[in-house]
Amino acid sequence: MVLESIARIIKHQLPAYLKKLPLPETIGGFARLTVSEWLRLLPVLGILALLGYLTIRPFLPKKRKQKDSLINLKIQKENPKVVNEIDIEDLKSPSACYCRCWRSKTFPVCDKSHIKHNELTGDNVGPLILKKKIL
């Protein structure tokens, strides 16, 4: 039943629809079409545009990934910035900040490059802060 309906549409109704379309003989004839004639052409033109796009789509250049993309994909995303503090008793200085954004010029020590990275990408990565426990 369904296939018979589809066959009837393709064999009879589609050719009848296409014959009634107001296709001009020349390019200049498109300028003389009325609004109602353009509206009748719209579905066909839309389908042709879609088919054309799908045909050339594999040859279009791929979108490049953003140079500064997210680093932190799932850790504490509800926080504006991820900062962990760990007390370490054997530190020579009272505290140390270590880079977790991989953009520091003094890596592995943090130089606050994560601030610019977070502004560019919307990420929330921050430094690892090690603190010496004061007894």
Q: In Å, how far from its chain's centre is CA 74? A: 18
Cα–Cα distance measured from residue 37 to residue 23, given in angstroms and rounded to the nearest whole number: 9
Residue 41 exposed, middle or buried by CB count within 10 Å (0-12, 13-18, 19+): middle
- Nearest to 52, CA basis, from 60, 41, 40: 60
What is the DSSP secondary structure assignment for residue 29, as one 8-state letter? G
Determine the residue type at 94.
Answer: P
Known active-site residue 105: no
**Active-site option among 11, 62, 74, 81:** 81
Contact 68, 115 (CB under 8 A): no
- The set of catalytic residues is 81
